[in-house]
Amino acid sequence: MLPQNPNGQTGVRVDGTNFSLHGKNVSYQFYVDGNGDILSTHFGGRIDGELPYDPIPIVTGWSGMLDRVRRELPDQGRGDFRSPAIQICYANTHSILALKYQSHEVVKGKPALPGLPATFGSERDVTTLVVHLYDDHCNVVVDMLYSVFPNFDAIVRSVSITNKGTETITVEELASFSVDMPYDDYDMVSLRGDWARETQRQRRRVDYGIQGFKSSTGFSSHFYNPFFALVSTSTTESQGEAWGFSLVYSGSFAVTVEKGGQGFTRAQIGLNSNQLSWPLRPNETLTSPECVSVYSKDGIGGMSRSLHSLYRNHLMKSQFAMSIRPVLLNSWEALYYNLDQTKIFQMALESAGLGVKLFVLDDGWFGDKHPRLSDTAGLGDWVPNPMRFRNGLGPMVKEITALKPQNSSTNMRFGLWIEPEMVNPKSSLCEEHPEWILHAGQYPRTEQRNQLILNLALAEVQEHIINSISDVLLSADITYIKWDHNRCIHETPYSSSHHAYMLGLYRVFEELTSRFPNILWEGCASGGGRCDPGVLQYFPQVWTSDNTDALERIFIQFGASIVYPASAMSGHISAVPNHQTGRTIPLTFRAHVAMMCGSFGFELNPAELLPHEKSALPQIIALSEKINPIVVNGNLWRLSLPEDSNWPAMMFVSQDGSQALCKSCSLVPLTASSPSSDTYDSSCPRKDGQQIVSDYSSTASSLPAPINDLPSDGLGPIQGADTIPDIELQVELVGLYFDYIHDQFHSIFHPPTMTELVRQGKAPTILVLGMIALSARLLNLHDISVTTIQSALLLGAFWTGEGNPTLESVFVSIAVQMASLIDLASCPAASPIEKETNIRIWWSLRMVDVWASNGVGLPPRLSKMKPPPLPGDDITYNRDNNGAMDSSSKKSIPRSSLLSEMAKLNCIFAEIYELHEDTIKGQMGGSFIETRVTSLGLQLDEWYAALPDHMRDTPENLARFASVGLGRLFVAVYCGYYHYGQLLYYQFLHARNQDEFLSTAAAYAVRCNAYSAGLCEIIYAAHSTPRCDVLYNMVGHVLVVASTVQIHTLLNSSSEEEIATTRRRLERNFEIMLRLDNLWPTLSMCLLRLRIFHTACRRSMKETFLMDRWMLRFLRDFGRAVDERTDMTSEEIPFTLTGIGLTSDHNNI
């Protein structure tokens, strides 16, 4: 019988060998069976009475009883065929472990874990149950520690193994927590990512078999966070059950979730067994990191708030854990390695004038024999560079800390960046102690970022770091340290070296933070590569990501908040264009996103701020300081999520419920869009007299705001010029243009230059109006210049979106004629930037000309002219701001770019349209058609084969280009590639062609389907990858063509799997087109065209795919309506897209 819980008591209750752990809303129960095994009965909602428990009947057959019960510490080799939580290997023998219950004890409070970070608490806060197990065959003792924090509904577990035998054993597997959940359907929530896109929320169904993830980098990593949750399939942010599991560890880890044949779901988290193999000598003990598990009946949000409160109160040891954080400015993005005392002090002085309270000197201050002038030297030599700091850091720090920040009663504080775990090969430390570097025998030591890693498993290395960093901290008045870590572990002497490294690192952390408790420590690992509870034990805040782009940060910070409190996150306002993505976002939006973090600051050079930005910063700083207490200590409610809503929002509620702070933002501006109250979490606490501290709403690209009068820049009178928005809104809207239009249909501007001109109010009004599409149709195009060519292209794109291909063709024709008149391809340019921009305009015009001409059935006008060189490298071009590419530069741009690949494909595209035209005119015989198709197909194949690996269509490359702001351009290239392929082979879908070209037609039909599938998949990938969603109207047209190919597959396939896949594609295509329909008038026409095609299929499957004049218009004239296809023999076949619901009214889809 399991122990009852009278009067709702919490903590640990024991009745014989039956155990119950109770929080306010959770119960965890298990017992010892007749064989000495520990079996679980319940982990979930609070149970105050006796839990009904029906023993599992004895079974015989293929598997035994151990495979059919819920075990607390499953082993391997005795009949449990699911994933083990513990595995030990004996020298030259077996790996069986038969642990049996021996005894238990209940301890008030919580014992510390030797050498490991762990939660803590007094006897009033926590109670611990220790269950002792013993294997009397091999003399191994295992202790399972369960600590209950009732106020947080948290059960914390760790496992220790002690070798009581006479020979060394090897621990191969050790999970900190293993629980078998009852038969039910679950989803798993986790946090995935990469550098610059950490903590991306992921939710997936738990299916039969093993699913999970792990880090093998030596550290918790950007790729996966040491956390997962199991939730009921109906669980939301505010409702339903959620079980969270968070590992208090900073090294390699593994998560395994296995749904077994009996329906139980086993969930485990702990050390990564691939990097363990821990030798355990006689009388030695290995203790696992602890896992914090929490239960919530109030959805994922309730689970998060339990973790947040527990970590603030019982994990973070720093005195700053619940303190207001000083507003800081970090020098990195302003100075990089180009620093000296004068520049540093001047920046600190300007920062103080704005109200910044803490100045942080980042990388580049150290190194004597090997000065840190770049990332190639100096790491490991933690002494100030005597050439930059003749008298050390002390005198300069004294000057800076004597400054009085604006509106402050205290002096400026000073902080420093360090990376003590790393060493450059070019350093005194590496020269003097090469044996201190992690390595594996005689294998080469792999450099990454010009760095090697010190072996912190060695006591002498630990002492060196502790002493050298202590010397730095004692040399000046330093009150903040940013501890960075910029690479993964490669070679190690042993598999066990990974865990030994972490134990050494934790010793260093413990010693330094204890010696210097008044220093605010911040953890960093190329951003959020080591954002985990283990670090939070010592450092109360973590640099959440190197990506400071505010739009990207919303997803990163919302994801991180699933586990970590806002007080543990750092968010800064950085310069624009953003150094990671190239995006320009308004100051107010950047500020509000950064204020969602407990530590708020700046990554920019104050001297480069515009006057209106500089005047706004003191108010922004004052606002951040006003709301920081509730952000640091309040309970966080995610009201709506960025993955689900254009208006993500979060609310912070004070502990007593008397104050609340709400922040929401618009990711993409929509006309008349506003946050809808019915999407918000209605379970948020409400209290009479509750004060709303502030309700902040911001947008990445706001709707029209105050109006200014601007001149027309000498380009003639412009009607409506008095309605141009103010400068900040212009920057917002132009930024949206560069995000969603530029580089996808044309590339005619140099984004950094144009953005800077807009910010300074110097951009030609005609271009601004064209880009923001306010009064573009009223512009005067009489001036023959590059500016007017750009304007004509903008107007053509505008009329394309409005569904008027004739006017589009007119404006493109104007641009073509002007380009010819001024010889755009070779006209003089004042700088390399201007020359490259002219090249990009020419090629954009060439590509638009092919599309626009074919859209109205006319031949292209620019294809016969001699082209200029192909466009240059996109990254260099988009990020250069008249620096490396100024007129004095002798270097040319590398002639390799996504835009140049798009231009190459466009040349093939023009030939494909010529082929179709010749085909329907009957000017070619069958063999000649086949020859031309084969030739063009070979051109497409050769184009792809010639691509470098980093430009091929892979998820990794998509993510890579997205990380530098080129994800949408990457997608645009492949939308063209797959669309041109499906067009080339489209005529072979028709049965007559398959009879005429017996040798190739079937293969060509298969290729058409493959290109169509590729097009669909790249668009799906784009919409599921941050910064890659393609929202241009032409996507609707290519999806219509791809959908007709999918309909052909649906009509002709006999494979159930292929039919199911095809239906899913059609459904997703409709979803995307409907989303685009909210943005572009032309999408209504696209959907109508698809309905007409569907009707034609119902009348005659045999004739619908015939390449005739009607089909040519359907495939080519994307901007015009098509008539019903009537020139067919009616069959009235019973074909319809059942389940997709394509009707005459596309709004019913």
CATH code of the domain in which 495 resides: 3.20.20.70
Average pLDDT over residues 570-598: 93
Report pLDDT digits (tens) over 37-55. Answer: 999 999 999 997 655 455 5
Average pLDDT over residues 583-587: 90
Among the residue ranges 26-35, 397-406, 882-891, 928-937, the one predicted with the least confidence is: 882-891
Burial class (CB in 10 A: 0-12, 13-18, 19+), 123: exposed
Nearest CA to 1043 among 1076, 973, 1075, 1091? Answer: 1091
**Phi, psi (degrees; rounded to nearest 5) at 1059:** -65, -45
Q: How confident is the model at residue 196 (pLDDT cuts 50, 70, 90)?
A: very high
Whether residue 687 has pLDDT greater than 80: no
Asked if 825 and 866 count as a contact pair (C-beta separation under 8 A), the reply is yes
In the DSSP assignment, the letter for residue 109 is S
Nearest-angstrom CA–CA distance, 876 and 893 = 7
Nearest-angstrom CA–CA distance, 137 and 165 = 10
Report pLDDT digits (tens) over 90-137. Answer: 876 777 899 999 999 999 999 999 999 999 999 999 999 999 999 988
For residue 725, the model assigns a pLDDT of: 58
Nearest-angstrom CA–CA distance, 1114 and 1040 = 10
Tell me the β-bridge partners of 291. Answer: 157, 247
Domain assignment present for 142 = yes
Average pLDDT over residues 1005-1015: 93
Nearest-angstrom CA–CA distance, 857 and 55 = 77
CATH of the domain at 170: 2.70.98.60
Residues in CB range of 463: below 8 A, 6 or more apart: none
What percentage of the chain carries pLDDT values higher than 90?
Answer: 56
Tokens of 467: 């002493």
Q: How confident is the model at residue 884 (pLDDT cuts 50, 70, 90)?
A: very low
Asked if 567 and 321 count as a contact pair (C-beta separation under 8 A), the reply is yes
DSSP H or E run through 26: strand 26-32
Same domain, 300 and 421: no
Report pLDDT digits (tens) over 438-448. Answer: 999 999 999 99
Report pLDDT digits (tens) over 1030-1043. Answer: 888 889 889 999 99
DSSP H or E run through 855: helix 832-855
Whether residue 886 has pLDDT greater than 50: no
Among the residue ranges 421-435, 828-842, 1081-1095, the one predicted with the least confidence is: 1081-1095
Query: Which DSSP string corresponds to 710-764?
Result: ---TTS---TTGGG-B-HHHHHHHHHHHHHHTBTTTB--S-HHHHHHHHHTT-S-
Q: Helix or strand or coil: residue 511?
A: helix
Q: Which residue has the higher pLDDT, 65 or 261?
A: 261
Domain assignment present for 700 = no
Nearest-angstrom CA–CA distance, 987 and 1105 = 7
Nearest-angstrom CA–CA distance, 666 and 649 = 9
The one-letter amino acid at 201: R
Whether residue 854 has pLDDT greater than 70: no
For residue 1145, the model assigns a pLDDT of: 35
Report pLDDT digits (tens) over 558-568. Answer: 999 999 999 99
Q: Which structural domain, as residue segments, surrounds residue 759?
A: 706-896
Burial class (CB in 10 A: 0-12, 13-18, 19+), 396: buried
What percentage of the chain carries pLDDT values higher than 70?
Answer: 83
Domain assignment present for 381 = yes
For residue 856, the model assigns a pLDDT of: 53
For residue 1146, the model assigns a pLDDT of: 30
Same domain, 390 and 303: no
Q: Which residue has the higher pLDDT, 595 or 766?
A: 595
Nearest-angstrom CA–CA distance, 734 and 652 = 33
The label of the residue with tokens 């607390």 reads: 72
Query: Which DSSP string corresponds to 231-277?
Result: EETT--SSSB-EEEEEE--SS-EEEEEEE-TTS-EEEEEEE-GGG--
Same domain, 721 and 841: yes
Same domain, 396 and 297: no
Alpha-carbon distances, residue 626 vs 588, 632, 693, 1080 (angstroms): 16, 11, 9, 42
Sign of the Cα pseudo-torsion (71, 76, 82, 84, in order): positive
For residue 896, the model assigns a pLDDT of: 59
Alpha-carbon distances, residue 156 vs 150, 291, 307 (angstroms): 11, 6, 11
- Bridge pairing between strands 278-280 and 209-215: unpaired
Q: Which residue has the higher pLDDT, 733 or 394?
A: 394
916 alpha carbon, distance to own chain's centre: 43
Helix, strand, coil shares of the chain, percent, nearest 5, are: 40, 20, 40
For residue 790, the model assigns a pLDDT of: 83
Tokens of 306: 């339990």
Asked if 481 and 517 count as a contact pair (C-beta separation under 8 A), the reply is no
The residue out of 869, 896, 923 marking a domain boundary is 896
Same domain, 309 and 339: no
Q: How confident is the model at residue 982 (pLDDT cuts 50, 70, 90)?
A: very high
Alpha-carbon distances, residue 868 vs 839, 842, 843, 872 (angstroms): 6, 8, 8, 11
Mean pLDDT of the chain: 85
Nearest-angstrom CA–CA distance, 40 and 521 = 41
Same domain, 343 and 280: no
Q: How confident is the model at residue 674 (pLDDT cuts 50, 70, 90)?
A: very low
Whether residue 774 has pLDDT greater than 60: no
Q: Helix or strand or coil: residue 337?
A: coil
Domain assignment present for 1009 = no
Whether residue 713 has pLDDT greater than 60: no
Burial 330-357, CB ≥16 within 10 A → b, else e: bbbbbbeeebebebbeebbebbbbbbbb
Nearest-angstrom CA–CA distance, 1113 and 1117 = 5
For residue 1094, the model assigns a pLDDT of: 77
Asked if 378 and 370 count as a contact pair (C-beta separation under 8 A), the reply is yes
Active site (catalytic) residues: 484, 546
Whether residue 721 has pLDDT greater than 90: no
Q: Which residue has the higher pLDDT, 516 or 675?
A: 516
Same domain, 170 and 35: yes
Domain assignment present for 485 = yes
Asked if 919 and 985 count as a contact pair (C-beta separation under 8 A), the reply is no
Asked if 631 and 557 count as a contact pair (C-beta separation under 8 A), the reply is no
Whether residue 156 has pLDDT greater than 70: yes
61: left (phi over 0), alpha (psi -120 to 50) or beta: left
Q: What number of other Cβ atoms are within 10 A of residue 937's Cβ?
A: 18
Residues in CB range of 600: below 8 A, 6 or more apart: 325, 327, 328, 570, 571, 572, 594, 624, 628
For residue 517, the model assigns a pLDDT of: 97
For residue 722, the model assigns a pLDDT of: 39
Nearest-angstrom CA–CA distance, 902 and 977 = 8
Burial class (CB in 10 A: 0-12, 13-18, 19+), 34: exposed
Same domain, 347 and 400: yes
Among the residue ranges 264-278, 522-536, 1055-1069, the one predicted with the least confidence is: 1055-1069
Tokens of 89: 């290997």
Asked if 59 and 68 count as a contact pair (C-beta separation under 8 A), the reply is yes
Same domain, 75 and 151: yes
Nearest-angstrom CA–CA distance, 706 and 698 = 16
For residue 100, the model assigns a pLDDT of: 95
The residue out of 314, 348, 370 marking a domain boundary is 314
Q: How confident is the model at residue 587 (pLDDT cuts 50, 70, 90)?
A: very high
Average pLDDT over residues 777-783: 43
DSSP H or E run through 847: helix 832-855
Domain assignment present for 801 = yes
Q: How many CA atoms lie within 13 A of 140 on its CB side?
A: 26
* Total residues found in the chain within this entry: 1149
Number of structural domains (the chain) is 3
Report pLDDT digits (tens) over 285-316. Answer: 999 999 999 999 999 999 999 999 999 999 99
Nearest-angstrom CA–CA distance, 830 and 947 = 32
Asked if 397 and 361 count as a contact pair (C-beta separation under 8 A), the reply is no
Domain assignment present for 61 = no
DSSP H or E run through 86: strand 86-90
Same domain, 265 and 363: no
Report pLDDT digits (tens) over 1042-1051. Answer: 998 998 888 8
Domain assignment present for 680 = no
Residues in CB range of 60: below 8 A, 6 or more apart: none
Q: According to DSSP H, which parts of 428-549 are helical?
A: 428-432, 459-474, 497-515, 533-536
Whether residue 224 has pLDDT greater than 90: yes
Average pLDDT over residues 704-729: 38
For residue 4, the model assigns a pLDDT of: 54
Cis omega (within 30 of 0) for bond into 577: yes
The one-letter amino acid at 665: C
Tokens of 733: 């809207």
Burial class (CB in 10 A: 0-12, 13-18, 19+), 441: exposed
Alpha-carbon distances, residue 1119 vs 808, 999, 1015, 1030, 1053 (angstroms): 9, 36, 20, 19, 31
Tokens of 247: 């590992």
Asked if 811 and 848 count as a contact pair (C-beta separation under 8 A), the reply is no
Same domain, 432 and 364: yes
The residue out of 480, 510, 543 marking a domain boundary is 543
Asked if 466 and 510 count as a contact pair (C-beta separation under 8 A), the reply is no
Same domain, 310 and 336: no
